[in-house]
Amino acid sequence: MIGPDVAGIAEKLGAAADSATAIGQLAAETGLDSDTAYTVQAALVQRRLDRGERLVGLKMGLTSRAKMAQVGVDEVIWGRLTDVMRVPDGGTVDTGDFIHPRVEPEVAFLLDRLPEPGEPVGSFTRAVRAVAPAIELIDSRYANFTFSLPDVIADNTSAAAFAIGPWSPVPDGLDNLGVLLEIDGRVAQVGSTAAILGDPRRALDEGLRLAGRHGVRLRKGWVFLAGAATAAVPLRPGAHVRAVVEKLGSASLKALP
């Protein structure tokens, strides 16, 4: 049997992102499974690298029940981040560059000395140099923000942009910090870092394990997004967004009017 057309699916997803135009889901009709979807994701991100973007990190997705429930997919997934997706803290995005952008509060890790493939993280404070509050802007390339597990994996887990607040040394506990997402100064979502796999540090173990299965090694100096603690909220033109994580401070971005 001939498998799914990996290059063709990656091209469709890439063109959808470039033109900010939604497409229909592809996995069911092409017989795409999750493993092959990661191959599509690699090809989709390679398309960005071919035009000069640089890999700067990894993101986890669906590490909280709130996120799983919002999109109806209940497996932890991971995606790739490039330099062009990074927005300066307090910076501006244009909602017109996206299809139906949503924002969500995240915790970011700055990676340091990572274990060899197959080894557990062991010392978190050796593997992670600093932590920061962050905002992820996700933008599914599928119509109505609706997808199956292989669809969202192929679509680089809806990755579109991210902003990172000030880095701090790793605090003693990361497992029960309050998380807020504010839009125009009003609280839109409330949560706790405990929602992220019980402790966001676990997201790193999962990232190493799951990415390792596909031969991807995390690098010193990379950013790692542990996954949102709350559901995501639509980003409207003109909105001011702030994500606050207790003890870590806040990250912000605004959307052009």
Instruction: Give the footprint of ligand OOG on this chain (CB under 6 A).
Output: 59, 61-63, 67, 71, 104, 136, 138, 140, 152, 157-158, 227-228
Q: How far is the CB of 103 from Mg ion (least distance, A)?
A: 9
The residue range among 22-30, 34-42, 225-233, 238-246 that interacts with Mg ion, by the rule CB under 5 A, is 225-233
Binding of Mg ion at residue 136 (CB under 5 A)?
A: yes
Least distance to ligand OOG, CB of residue 37, Å: 13
State in angstroms the smallest separation of the CB of 115 from ligand OOG. Answer: 24
Terminal-residue alpha carbon distance, the chain:
50
Establish if 137 lies at the interface with Mg ion (CB under 5 A): no
Consecutive H or E run containing 234: strand 233-234
Q: Pull the structure tokens for residue 251.
A: 């990250």
Decide if residue 251 touches Mg ion (CB under 5 A): no
User: Does residue 182 bind Mg ion (CB under 5 A)?
Assistant: no
Report which residue type is found at 219: R
Instruction: Give min distance, CB of 75 to ligand OOG, in A.
Output: 11
The least distance separating ligand OOG from the CB of residue 229, rounded to whole angstroms, comes to 9
DSSP string, 177-220: -EEEEEETTEEEEEEEGGGTTTSTHHHHHHHHHHHHHTTPPP-T
Q: Exposure string (b/e) for 145-158, b if CB count within 10 Å is 16 or more?
A: bebbbbbbbbbbbb
Using the 8-state DSSP alphabet, how is residue 168 labeled?
A: B
Nearer to Mg ion, 136 or 155 (CB): 136
Gyration radius (Cα) of the chain, Å: 17
The DSSP output letter for 248 is T
| Nearest residue to the partner ligand OOG, using Cβ | 61
3-state secondary structure of 78: strand
Q: Looking at beta carbons only, is 42 or 60 nearer to ligand OOG? A: 60
Q: CB count, 10 Å around CB of 100?
A: 17
Q: How far is the CB of 136 from Mg ion (least distance, A)?
A: 4
**By CB under 5 A, residue 155 contacts Mg ion:** no
Select the span of 23-31, 85-93, 134-142, 162-170 touching Mg ion (CB under 5 A): 134-142
Q: Of all residues in this chain, which one has the CB nearest to Mg ion in the complex?
A: 136
Q: Are 147 and 155 in contact (CB under 8 A)?
A: yes
**Measured between alpha carbons, how far is 247 from 227 in angstroms, rounded to an integer?**
18
Query: 9 or 62: whose CB is closer to ligand OOG?
Result: 62
Residues that bind Mg ion (CB under 5 A): 136, 228
